[in-house]
């Protein structure tokens, strides 16, 4: 991670969010200027599901199907409804979009989950998933042999872990539920001291028979994206936690994990199942406000480099924005703007408090498409603009790069 000199920090602080100043030794070509994004409106309304459920496309892909039809991969969650992954399909008519009303001719499909083999007759099925384990935040990655791999966070009794399932795009089989790619600190296979965080130090692992304990390199917070690279290897961007003492200006007592700060790590893998080479790639620096944290990193690979959507989490305000960042190699990331790439909505809007990015931006039909989840409530749920709801929105920009 690049370091700024004190003079450069002061200069950046003086120009504020509008400044496009890069660290010493870099130049403009290191961080291409982001496109001018236009918010187009609400695609999927919260009214598509019961009031107890939330829709989100956080970390999930969008796939153009031909003509004006799209498939948006989704998660379902809520206080009373079981979590699940699925997709919505329908026609995308930009002229019909508005900030308040979603499209009413899209169809939802949810995964059929089973402990045995996936149901071949189902439109979407996930098999070899233990009973009462529920998937969210699906990431779909093509494999070299023509199959597809579905990554997701599984939530169940005693488990919060990141699994991989291989299949044909509709039917998937979990590779090994007892040997996941990642673990949340709350998972039963995580021993407290392994996290290296005092908050979890007294926690004792309770693995089942035949289940290994999590290693430090496998432990993260949430919000994970996986990408297959041109050479056949894989890279992952996930959120890790670092301790913040109570006397630090970064300490926010009303955050849901007070005393911990979210930063971005990158891992790599030859097979997409066993991960290593963990590196810290994005963390708050001297230019950032004390309460700055980073909630996720969504990456679009282009011939010119990696175009990033960084989850800029202002912990004091409990808001999340999308910030542009750029990297030539996935390790050194430039943040030339340090301001929201698109504006959150007005207090009446569904995207007034939190924005969550998809798996990647999609080039299609001369435009870059950014489908994102908008939330009308604070991260800690202490305030909302009306009943807590989520919707899936679209922003577009001119197509700058050709997809690889």
How confident is the model over 123-132, as a mean pLDDT? 98
Distances (CA, A) of 315 to 29, 239, 294, 311, 348: 32, 15, 9, 12, 22
**Measured CA angle at 299 (ends 39, 36), to 5 deg:** 30
Q: Please state, rounded to an integer, the average pLDDT across all residues of the chain.
A: 90
What would the two tokens of residue 24 be? 């010493």
d(CA 154, CA 184): 10
d(CA 373, CA 47): 14
Structure confidence by residue, pLDDT tens digits, 243-301 = 999 999 999 999 999 999 999 999 999 999 999 999 999 999 999 999 999 999 999 99
Per the model's pLDDT, the better-predicted residue between 166 and 399 turns out to be 166
Per-residue pLDDT at 21 exceeds 60: no
Tell me what percent of the residues of the chain surpass a pLDDT of 70: 91
pLDDT of the residue at 401: 57
What would the two tokens of residue 98 be? 């508005």
E strands in 217-332: 222-228, 234-243, 260-269, 276-282, 292-302, 305-314, 319-327
Place of tokens 């004390």: 290
d(CA 193, CA 105): 51
Q: Are 292 and 310 in contact (CB under 8 A)?
A: no
């Amino acid at each position: 991670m690049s370091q700024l000199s004190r003079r450069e920090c002061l200069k950046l602080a003086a120009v504020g969010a509008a400044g496009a100043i890069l660290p010493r030794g870099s130049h403009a070509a290191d961080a291409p200027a982001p496109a001018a994004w236009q918010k187009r409106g609400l695609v999927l309304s919260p009214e598509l599901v019961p009031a107890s459920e939330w829709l989100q496309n956080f970390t999930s892909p969008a796939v153009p199907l031909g003509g004006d039809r799209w498939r948006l991969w989704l998660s379902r969650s809520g206080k009373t409804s079981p979590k699940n992954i699925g997709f919505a399909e329908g026609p995308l008519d930009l002229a019909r979009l508005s900030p308040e009303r979603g499209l009413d001719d899209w169809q939802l499909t949810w995964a059929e989950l089973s402990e045995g083999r996936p149901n071949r007759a189902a439109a979407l099925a996930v098999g070899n998933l233990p009973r009462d384990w529920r998937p969210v935040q699906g990431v779909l990655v093509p494999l070299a042999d023509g199959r597809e791999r579905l990554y997701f966070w599984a939530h169940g009794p005693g488990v919060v872990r990141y699994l991989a399932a291989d299949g044909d795009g509709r039917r998937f089989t979990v590779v090994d539920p007892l040997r996941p790619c990642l673990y949340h600190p709350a998972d039963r296979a995580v021993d407290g001291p392994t996290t290296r965080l005092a908050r979890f130090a007294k926690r004792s692992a309770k693995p089942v028979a035949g289940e290994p304990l999590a290693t430090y390199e496998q432990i993260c917070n949430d919000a994970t994206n996986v990408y297959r690279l041109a050479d056949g290897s894989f890279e992952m961007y996930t959120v890790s936690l670092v301790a913040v003492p109570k006397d630090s200006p970064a300490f926010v007592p009303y955050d849901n994990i007070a005393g911990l700060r979210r930063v971005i790590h990158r891992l790599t893998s030859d097979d997409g199942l066993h991960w290593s080479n963990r590196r810290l790639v994005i963390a708050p620096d001297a230019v950032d406000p004390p309460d700055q944290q980073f909630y996720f990193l969504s990456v679009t690979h282009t011939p010119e480099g990696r175009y990033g959507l960084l989850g800029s989490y202002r912990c004091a305000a409990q808001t999340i924005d999308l910030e542009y960042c750029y990297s030539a190699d996935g390790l050194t990331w430039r943040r030339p703007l340090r301001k929201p790439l698109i504006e959150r909505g007005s207090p009446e809007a569904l995207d007034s408090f939190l924005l969550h990015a998809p798996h990647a931006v999609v080039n299609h039909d001369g435009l870059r498409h950014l489908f994102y989840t908008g939330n009308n409530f604070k991260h800690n749920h202490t305030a909302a603009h009306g009943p807590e709801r989520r919707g899936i929105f679209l922003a577009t920009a001119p197509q700058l790069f050709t997809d690889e």
